[in-house]
Amino acid sequence: MNMIAPESTRGVSARPPVRWRLCWENDLELADHIELSDFFRKTYGPTGEFNAKPFEGHRSWAGARPEIRAIGYDDRGVAIHIAALRRFIKIGQTDLLVAELGLYGVRPDLEGLGITHSIRVMYPVLRDLGVPFGFGTVRAALQKHITRLLGRKGLATVLPGLRVRSARPDIYLTVPPTRVEDVVGLVLPIARPMSEWPAGDTIERNGPEL
């Protein structure tokens, strides 16, 4: 996919506009993976000792590999990143097609741009994919932050108190092959209204987290 129109950074005069590139995973070149791997290591590294480890060896994904990415660039390189992967999750006894959103990152010097810009860029992408819902998860500690940035602005419905079971991306002899996490869910109604989101607070991801 081609570059799309620059995202305005009005009100922050020192920041140049961000140019968004939408690309399928197969269209990434080796140089793209190397650049993204460096971006994620520098972005996730300060958040925890092991958070940058999945991106070693020029790997540009952490768990499940994404299907499509939105990458924001400025004159210093990669500035913001978010990705999506179509998959079926199970809520209770209901199998539901979603586009899972993940691999979100913003360069530390651009944190003011926030996740709201990424979600706005992804909305038309998800409509083109024809999925009923966009879905993502964040740590429970971020509930107030995400509600302020997305929930109150009508960009997503925030679902606290979810329990999500996922497959680990790798097999280890010392831990189970799946893990269960208490998280906050984000749901973006795309082709179906929020009233059709299945009831239930336990979700089977049936694969690694994006």
Q: Is residue 154 part of a domain?
A: yes
Q: Is residue 153 part of a domain?
A: yes
Query: Which tokens hold the place of 32?
Result: 């793209």
Residue 45: the pLDDT is 87
**How many domains in the chain?**
1
Residue 16: the pLDDT is 65
* Helix, strand, coil % over all residues of the chain, rounded to 5: 30, 40, 30
Distances (CA, A) of 83 to 64, 101, 103, 107, 196: 11, 6, 6, 16, 24
Query: Which tokens hold the place of 127?
Result: 């409509």
Residue 13: the pLDDT is 44
- pLDDT tens by residue, the chain, 210 residues: 544 544 444 444 456 688 999 999 999 999 999 999 999 999 998 877 788 999 999 999 999 999 999 999 999 999 999 999 999 999 999 999 999 999 999 988 777 666 888 999 999 999 999 999 999 999 898 899 889 888 888 889 999 999 999 999 999 999 999 999 999 999 999 999 999 999 999 999 999 999
Residue 11: the pLDDT is 43
Which CATH number covers residue 153? 3.40.630.30
Residue 4: the pLDDT is 53
Segments forming the whole domain that contains residue 104? 19-204
Among 137, 133, 135, smallest CA distance to 196 is for: 133
Residue 130: the pLDDT is 94
Q: Is residue 209 part of a domain?
A: no
Q: Is residue 2 part of a domain?
A: no
Rounded Cα distance, 109 and 177, in Å: 37
Among 171, 147, 149, smallest CA distance to 159 is for: 147
pTM of structure: 0.88
Q: Is residue 3 part of a domain?
A: no
Q: Is residue 7 part of a domain?
A: no
